[in-house]
Amino acid sequence: MKLKWIAAAIVAAASTQASAQQGQMAAGLGISTVGPQIQLSYRQSTELGFRGFFAGGVSQKSSQTEDGVTYDVSGNLDGIGLLMDYYPMNSGLRLSGGIFSSNTDVKIKSTISAATDIGGRSYSSGTIDGTVKFARQISPRVTVGYDWTVGTNWTIGAEVGAILNNGFSASATAGGGISQADLDREMANVESNLNKNKFFPYVSLMASYRF
């Protein structure tokens, strides 16, 4: 009889915990490989949840050399996404899949002032003005993560995965005497260098408050 009451208490406690997790909403703030991230999430049940998020929006500037040409690079990675989370075994582990809509806007500029090979021909002067974007504006995103409960209402979540963006696309306009055909070939070389992997790695760390 005592064993029966213990079993009943365990089942009741598990049921109470499962019910407490259902219907919970949370707001989160964190950092990811796309940039700063804010998100809203809804835990429909102990096994299923949904998230919407915005990531990026921070402008950056740098200098980068691709295929022998040095570019001034400015812009940012950003976008919005929707995800469905599956929690196996009613644990903190989650498997997630969804979509990422990219608003990536990276500008590349170069002023040629010394002998530089562009598309197989040498130029000593000229200008290049172009953009680099995700090859897919809307891309699948898959991740695996884990949520740690902190106190009553806080959760720390980490995840790793990939945005399947099919690489990057690069285009540019030639000026100052550079042949557009040569520059188009050069941009094809730039794309080849950027697209050794057809995905963008995604890693994030997020703090969320449940309400």
**What tens digit of pLDDT does each residue of 187-202 get?**
999 998 888 889 999 9
Within a domain: residue 141?
A: yes
Torsion angles phi and psi, residue 196, rounded to 5: -65, -30
Cα–Cα–Cα angle for 167, 66, 106, rounded to 5 degrees: 55
Domain assignment of residue 165, given as a range: 23-210
Within a domain: residue 176?
A: yes
Within a domain: residue 17?
A: no
Within a domain: residue 12?
A: no
Domain count, the chain: 1
The per-residue pLDDT for 23 is 58
Q: How confident is the model at residue 18 (pLDDT cuts 50, 70, 90)?
A: very low
CATH number for 202: 2.40.160.170
The per-residue pLDDT for 76 is 83
Q: In percent, how much of the chain has pLDDT > 90? A: 69
